[in-house]
Amino acid sequence: MFVTAIIAAGGSSLRFGGAQPKQLVSIGGRAVLERSVSTFLAHAQVDEVVVALPAEVMANPPQYLRGASAKPLRMVAGGPRRQDSVANAFRAIADRAELVVVHDAARPFASADLIGRTIAAAAESGAAIAATPARDTVKQAELGERAWMVRTTLSRESIFLAQTPQAFRRNVLRDALASTADATDEAELAERAGHAVRLVEGDPANIKITTLEDVRIADAIALNRDEGSSAERGSAPARTGRAGIGYDLHRLVSGRPLILGGVTIPFERGLTGHSDADAVCHAITDAVLGAAGAGDIGRHFPDTDTTWAGASSLDLLRRACEIVRAQGLEVGNVDATVIAERPPLAPYVDAMRANVARALGVDAARISIKGKTNEGVGEVGRGEAIAVHAIALVRSRV
């Protein structure tokens, strides 16, 4: 049986509240979307994967979606609703696909066993979804004059909480997607189309990331799972934090202000670049993003985008910190070394530290900036450029 997996990642994440869509947030050093896609690419029963993405991500998809894959991997633009995204993906599946698995990208921990059981149940029954039984007492409520009030208590024995994956024979999903009515998942559409939907025992760890609080829980799950896998290889990751390294170099030219760490330093030349060319902030930005596994400054603020022409690099650093915070992380400390023959930087270091600390939302005591010369060696030693090395430590905010 030819099986296609559709990864629904086309949403705008309005409820998430982070600086980027939740499917791109890093969990344990890997993007949520990367974890979900790789799980299905690696599954023995899945023959191809189709990913529905927001239009802005389609324009510049992450590398893990563009790299070589042992199985066909296609990308399509999502739609305004989840079911529209799934419908767009459904139109792109292989002609010989007999069964289609739909999975939320925001559920990065679906196990291979859960996927296999859902596929088997759908092959037998036509449609099947992963679901967990309600463990708490379930109350049906109604809105009173001042607050929600209990209307009745439902029997939890018959209450199940739907997850994904959800699997369907091709004709069943086609019938479901023919509906234009709003629905929260494809199973609801299949029910309305008259198809019976079978329940498969879900997994409590198969959480859906909806809010920033969910990121903290997901980080803990990822740490446990990834650490277990790494421990088997003898390389368990450290629990204390994650470090990132940044480096930047800009040439000195006439007619530009010299800005380092957000401080304009009196000098006859300044650094050339697309933004204000603040090499201190650029190196620290790369270090912070790198520690969080969130790419680099060029990915988030490319010099091909006129939005960032002449931009304050302190603002770029502040935005990078928001990306890191959206992953449930915070900056622990930063250490940067500025390599320049001239001008002397000592009078400006404290102001630089204060600016960087404000951008990162930490105390200045956590920021170290120091100046060195290159002893006349190379382009930096000849006074043609200024270089900066930086290291940043990030840690969980849990």
With bands split at pLDDT 50, 70 and 90, how would you rate the model's confidence at 327? confident
- pLDDT higher than threshold 80 for residue 191: yes
What average pLDDT score do residues 145-155 get?
Answer: 93
pLDDT in tens, 153-168: 999 989 999 999 999 9
Predicted confidence band of residue 108 (pLDDT cuts 50, 70, 90): very high
236 pLDDT band, cuts 50/70/90, is very low
∠ at Cα 312 (324, 329), nearest 5°?
Answer: 10
pLDDT value for 232: 44
Q: What is the pLDDT of residue 39?
A: 92
Q: In this structure, which amino acid lies at residue 62?
A: P
Angle among Cα 302, 305, 307 to the nearest 5 degrees reads: 110
Residue 127 has which token pair? 């449609």
d(CA 55, CA 238): 37
What domains lie within the chain, and their CATH numbers? 3-133+160-232 (3.90.550.10), 242-396 (3.30.1330.50)
Q: Say if residues 248 and 282 touch (Cβ distance below 8 Å).
A: yes
The DSSP-derived string for 84-106 is HHHHHHHTTS-TT--EEEEEETT
Mean pLDDT on 28-50: 91
Measure the CA–CA gap between 386 and 267, rounded to whole angstroms: 13
Angle at 337 between CA 336 and CA 343, to 5 degrees: 125
- Looking at per-residue confidence, does 223 or 163 come out higher? 163
Distance in angstroms (rounded) separating the CA atoms of residues 354 and 359 = 9
Least confident of 61-65, 89-93, 351-355: 61-65
Query: Could you tell me the two tokens for 138?
Result: 């379930």
Q: Report yes or no: 327 and 27 within 8 Å, Cβ to Cβ.
A: yes
Q: Which of 101, 88, 162, 92 is nearest to 127 (CA)?
A: 101
Check pLDDT > 70 for residue 398: no
- 8: pLDDT strictly greater than 80: yes
Two tokens, residue 31: 């993007």
User: If we measure between CA atoms, which residue out of 9, 13, 10, 8 comes closest to residue 212?
Assistant: 13
pTM comes to 0.60
- Rounded to an integer, the average pLDDT of 195-204 is 95
Give the C-alpha distances (Å, rounded to integers) separating 180 from 34, 89, 194, 271. 30, 16, 15, 56
Please check whether residue 27 is in contact with residue 215, taking contact to mean a CB–CB distance below 8 angstroms.
yes
Q: Burial of 274 by CB count in 10 Å (0-12 exposed, 13-18 middle, 19+ buried)?
A: middle
C-alpha to C-alpha distances, 245 to 180, 242, 389, 393, nearest whole angstrom: 50, 10, 8, 9
Residue 170 and residue 3: Cα distance in Å, rounded? 9
**Taking a C-beta distance cutoff of 8 angstroms, is the pair 102, 93 a contact?**
no
Through-space distance between the first and last CA atoms of the chain, rounded to whole angstroms? 44
Q: How confident is the model at residue 227 (pLDDT cuts 50, 70, 90)?
A: low
Strand partners, 243: 393
pLDDT value at residue 103: 97
Binned at pLDDT 50, 70 and 90, residue 374 comes out as very high
* Distance between CA atoms of residues 266 and 28, nearest Å: 43
- The number of residues in the chain equals 398
The average pLDDT across 245-251 equals: 95
Q: What is the pLDDT of residue 16?
A: 54
The closest alpha carbon to 215, from 328, 324, 70, 113, belongs to 328
Mean pLDDT of 208-230: 75
**Residue 199 to residues 162, 211, 266, 302: CA-CA distances in angstroms?**
9, 26, 70, 46
Residue 390 and residue 283 in contact, taking contact as beta carbons nearer than 8 Å: yes
Dig out the tokens for 94 from the structure: 């292989």
